[in-house]
Structure 1
Amino acid sequence: MRKIMAGLALMGATLAATAADAHHSFGMFDMSKEVTITGKVRKFQWTNPHSYIQLVSKDGSGKDVEYSMEMGAPMYLYARGWRPATLKAGMDIAITYHPLRNGQPGGVVMDVTTPDGKAIGTNK
């Protein structure tokens, strides 16, 4: 019985390590660049394994472009002061982020602020 239990524990640990390894890295983001963009929140998605901000911003020609901005898991955001209702559709915000390497409109969020520079969801 002990060998069966040890085998099951080893199999569980192997599966957990495989699942963790399958989770994407930050390789898709250009961590050497920091960009700040302003716009209006279209949607704040409080979801696992990552939350997202859908932000609509104007490009250089004045055309609306929607950015998909990745954040951490809700449990980590909650610890920093974020709540499901922290951002509402239509809010003006600025996001500092590491952009996607492929040039698509999106990235991983570093900081979110109000137009007057007040930090959002940082427990500050």
Structure 2
Amino acid sequence: MRLFRSAAITTLAAVGMSSPVLAHHSFAMFDPGKVITLNGTVKEFRWVNPHVSLFVLADHAGAPELWAVELTSPGNLTRLGWSRRSLNPGDKIVVQVNPLRNGEKGGGFRKATLVASGQVLEARLIDIEKNGEK
């Protein structure tokens, strides 16, 4: 009986602590109904948990602007064939994002095309969230 009670308490504690982790993975800040295409140069590609980040110096609205683009986790990207070297500073790219709802220069990654090779890289945050992969 003691073993059962101890296991039940441990399970409840683990479930209670997992709620904040799940809440962190909301993508409500991005507008899935809008897509913006940015033509630019990779400034930085951060292969870090919990989400990989891409910083693009884009020619948007006639002037260079720095855009922050959020991708999914390195683990999810690896399963999709990506690596930490998939994008490198200086790469010319065309990237599609779901923009931030607040109008700031950022968005959720949809896909990117490397201009030099024509290679297309895909990994949509919202689709991954809907499929239960976080």
Residue 121 and residue 105 in structure 1: after superposition, are their counterparts in 2 closer, same or farther (change >3 A)?
Answer: same
Paired letter, 2:66: E
1:37 deviates by 0.8
| Partner Cα distance (2:20, 2:29) in 1 | 20
TM-score for both structures, normalised by structure 1: 0.88
1:86 aligns with 86
TM-score for both structures, normalised by structure 2: 0.82
1:49 deviates by 0.5
| Partner Cα distance (1:24, 1:76) in 2 | 14
2:15 aligns with 13
Aligned length, in residue pairs: 120
Give percent identity, aligned residues only: 29
Residue 60 and residue 17 in structure 1: after superposition, are their counterparts in 2 closer, same or farther (change >3 A)?
Answer: closer
Secondary structure of 1:26 counterpart: coil
Gaps of 5+ in 1: none
1:25 aligns with 26
Q: Does 1:55 align with 2:51?
A: no
1:107 aligns with 107
Paired letter, 1:18: P
